[in-house]
Amino acid sequence: MATTAAEARFRVDAPIRGQRATRVVALDESATAVMRRVAEQTWGGARFYSYEARPHSVETDAELADIVLRTMDGAEARLSEELADADAMVMIATADDGAEAASAIGNACTLRGIMTAGLILGDGREAGAAVMALRPHARVLMRSTGEHDVADVLTALRA
Amino acid sequence: MLAQETNELLTQTGPGTPMGELFRQYWIPALLAEELPENGSPPVRVKLLSERLIAFRDGEGRYGLIDEFCAHRGVSLWFGHNEETGLRCAYHGWKYDVTGQCIEVPSEPEDSIFCKKVKLTAYPLVKIGDILWTYMGDPAKRPEPPEFEFVHVPSEQTYTSKRWQESNWLQALEGGIDSSHVSWLHSAGLKNDPLFKGSKGNDYNMADLKPFFEVEEVDGGLFIGVRRNAEEGHYYWRITPWVMPSFTMVPPRGDHPMHGHLWIPIDDENCWVFTFDYQPVRALTADELQAMKDGHGVHNQNEPGTYRPVQNKDNDYMMDREAQRRGETFSGVKGIAIQDSSLQESMGPIVNRSKERLVSADSGIIKARAKLRAAAEALRDEGVTPPGVDPAHHRVRSVSIVLPKEASFIDSCREAAAVSPGVRQTSV
């Protein structure tokens, strides 16, 4: 019976095995600025990326499906490769600039069975547009007025 | 996952703790009005926020909530005589009024003013609806009384019960915010329970076991929207309000009554669960009322003369493996309330959140914890009044609704999620 304080002390005290492999993608410039600050903290297996929308004319369907991300040190990274061993995707947005990327990421994650979450920062019209853009592609959406929520969510997820 | 020091901050509610001080900013339920049914009723022992108190209703009908122990020799006033103007200690006859003021010390000379110098800690106790509410904070900061709709509708439209849960308040509250367990733990209840079954919403619930979640911050707390597929081009939304620190409502089903809970710390290892059902515009039917008294819906049956559930940890909640095998219950435990409490108590009195593995679907819980922590720290460090103190924040409803896919639940439901006297709930 683990229902008394005395018995609760006998809960197995070994670390639970397995590390979460979280990918965090900032979908616009303001979101990237927030993510850079958050990425400076110590994380488990989390990897952080930004997405920069390119002029629409140069993107083929294939490019849209497998978008190019940028790591925190500026290197290019293909979404498909970065999702290879991922089990959680957190998208951060402040506006709907990254709607196409959200769609590509959402579809890629659905195909691979990767859980998706969206954090929308802000409470104005732009944030509302971001909610609309991410809604079809994020299984969980949280709108927040404080960037501390990004770190709180990633901490809670053991990212 | 929470760091251990944050877990302690959120779960400790005794005097002087940050979360204890947060709770002391609000009116909270102390006991049911039925526990002091008439003038001069026997006094009732009440422990709230780790303080032992005695509640009584004097011979003239005034309610009091005072320190349980006599100032003289520390005897419990529960043994006292409840008289016309106060509660008299059974040991040496010291007498206290509802403000905690000692008004008689029989051993002192007749004209002695000694008793005027003796006053026990006392808190206001007021009846609103079926509940006696108290405020345990600074009298100078006492807010206006609560305005939750269930305590303001006519008495024939509302019913409240109470049960003792042997766990910390926070793991009980988190169950009220966590919508994703319903399709599992309570799945049989959607088919069988007289206060749940038969709604169109149940069909959506059971047809889509992988819902999407949205968490929206509002002035008093959160709205947590859970959406499932409905007819082509539409989603079925279930919207749960959380008003800080511990009021939650369950999204309604069909024309069944609306219901919810207030989770109130007794001490750090126990809490009271005040559970209500109400109809905004009509009286509860005799069948509905009987079902609630029989422990259906979100209510339960208590051991006679107590508020301890009949199904409790000492009898393994009367778990029935055969019923579990037959699919009558998912966990083998009967009744939605005890299905929740059995699992929440099984975590231990205070769950160690540094060991948990949360997933994205727990975002409502993650955000609620963050808001509680921020509010407790802002109160402690800067004296900021927390969300949910303003009675305007109490005027919320839960909602279940079918919306076009492109609609924002928070924008589409502003009216439906606000209290509108005389207007029926929005429910599918």
> What would the pLDDT profile of A18-52 be if each residue is shown by its tens digit?
778 999 999 999 999 999 999 999 998 899 999 98
Query: From the CA of B400, how many Å to the nearest CA of chain A?
Result: 18
CA-based nearest residue to B263, from B176, B344, B143: B176
How many structural domains are present in chain A? 1
Query: From the CA of A121, how many Å to the nearest CA of chain B?
Result: 11
B58 touches chain A (CB under 8 A): no
Does residue A83 fall inside a structural domain? yes
B408 touches chain A (CB under 8 A): yes
Does residue A51 fall inside a structural domain? yes
**Which of B1, B212, B313 faces A155 most closely, judged by CB atoms?**
B1
Q: In angstroms, rounded to a whole number, what is the distance separating the alpha carbons of residues B180 and A12?
A: 27
Does residue A5 fall inside a structural domain? no
Output the pTM of the full model.
0.94
Name the percent of chain B in helix, strand, coil, to the closest 5. 30, 25, 45
- Burial profile B212-224: b = 16 or more Cβ within 10 angstroms, e = fewer: bbbbbbbebbbbb
Contact B338, B193 (CB under 8 A): no
CA B250 from centroid of its chain's CA atoms:
12
Does residue A61 fall inside a structural domain? yes
CA B229 from centroid of its chain's CA atoms:
31
Does residue A12 fall inside a structural domain? no
ipTM (interface predicted TM): 0.89
- Taking contacts as CB-CB distances below 8 angstroms, the residues of chain B near A149 are 367, 370
The neighbour count for residue B179, using CB atoms within 10 Å, is 19
How many CA within 13 A on the CB side of residue A129?
12
> Do A143 and B359 make contact, defined as CB atoms within 8 angstroms?
no
> Do B2 and A156 make contact, defined as CB atoms within 8 angstroms?
yes
Looking at mean pLDDT, say which of A8-17, A53-62, A69-78, A122-131 comes out highest: A69-78
**B130, B152, B220, B281 from B155: Cα distances, Å:** 8, 8, 26, 12
> Do A141 and B166 make contact, defined as CB atoms within 8 angstroms?
no
**Which of A7, A132, A157 faces B360 most closely, judged by CB atoms?**
A157
Does residue A24 fall inside a structural domain? yes
Write the burial class of residue B327 (CB in 10 Å: 0-12 exposed, 13-18 middle, 19+ buried): exposed
**B221, B227, B314 from B53: Cα distances, Å:** 29, 44, 27
> Do A140 and B406 make contact, defined as CB atoms within 8 angstroms?
no
Name every residue in A having a CB less than 8 A away from some CB of B.
Answer: 1-5, 7-8, 11, 16, 20, 88, 90, 115-117, 128, 131-132, 135, 138-145, 148-149, 152-153, 155-158
What does the pLDDT profile of chain B (428 residues) look like in tens digits? 899 999 999 999 999 999 999 999 999 999 999 999 999 999 999 999 999 999 999 999 999 999 999 999 999 999 999 999 999 999 999 999 999 999 999 999 989 999 999 999 999 999 999 999 999 999 999 999 999 999 999 999 999 999 999 999 999 999 999 878 888 898 888 888 899 999 999 899 888 888 899 999 999 999 999 999 999 999 999 999 999 999 999 999 999 999 999 999 999 999 999 999 999 999 999 999 999 999 999 999 999 999 999 999 999 999 999 999 999 999 999 999 999 999 999 999 999 999 898 988 899 999 999 999 999 999 999 999 999 999 999 999 999 999 999 899 999 999 999 999 999 999 99
Backbone φ and ψ for B73, nearest 5 degrees, come out as -125, 10
The residues near A37 (Cβ < 8 Å, ≥ 6 apart) are: A147
Does residue A7 fall inside a structural domain? no
Does residue A14 fall inside a structural domain? no
Specify the CATH number for the domain of residue A92. 3.40.50.1440
- Taking contacts as CB-CB distances below 8 angstroms, the residues of chain A near B355 are 11, 16
Enumerate the β-bridge partners of residue B235: B229, B403
Structural domain of residue A116, as residue ranges?
Answer: 19-156
Number of A to B CB contacts under 8 A, please give it: 95
